[in-house]
Amino acid sequence: MKKPAELHSIEGTRIVRKSGKPAAIPAELKNRMPFAEWHDHPEQFDKKQFVKEASDFLFDVYGIGDNQNRHTLGMLADTMEMYVNCNMQLTNDKLMIWHNDGKTAAINPLVNIRAKALEQCIRLMGELGLTPKARLAGQKTEKTNNIDSLLKGPKAA
């Protein structure tokens, strides 16, 4: 029987697949995580390649290949590009900038833009199931005590 969304909210669980188990990575995809090619050479970051790799991964692991997720994946690629561009610019710029003829110091705005882009990337990757945390979300062990069973209500037992 499928649990209602309210119970998942109380328990802090989320069903990833219909089986109720977290998504397993197929054996042919399992390997050590390599260093991202674009990390040392950010100018090599390619949005289309990123979308293709992520899309292939989503299809291989979850069987997801619908057109609707292309929007979320596109937003993730744009945000990744923004993060990479901020990194490239910050290698040439100073982390602190000066205003009012050198009287006032402030953090370079690119630092905040990069931080927000990183947060958004993590959020979107979680939404798509591209992070280990998102894939393992269904593995929460259930601890039950009297208060938990009372909070679940009479039909939860």
Q: Would you list the domain boundaries of the chain?
A: 46-139
Give residue 34's pLDDT: 80
pLDDT tens string 119-141: 999 999 998 888 888 877 655 55
Residues of the chain where predicted confidence (pLDDT) is lower than 50:
1, 8, 15-17
Task: Count the Cβ atoms, other than its own, within 10 Å of residue 86.
Answer: 23
Give residue 15's pLDDT: 47
Measure the CA–CA gap between 57 and 107, rounded to whole angstroms.
37
Give residue 120's pLDDT: 97
Measure the CA–CA gap between 33 and 92, rounded to whole angstroms.
29
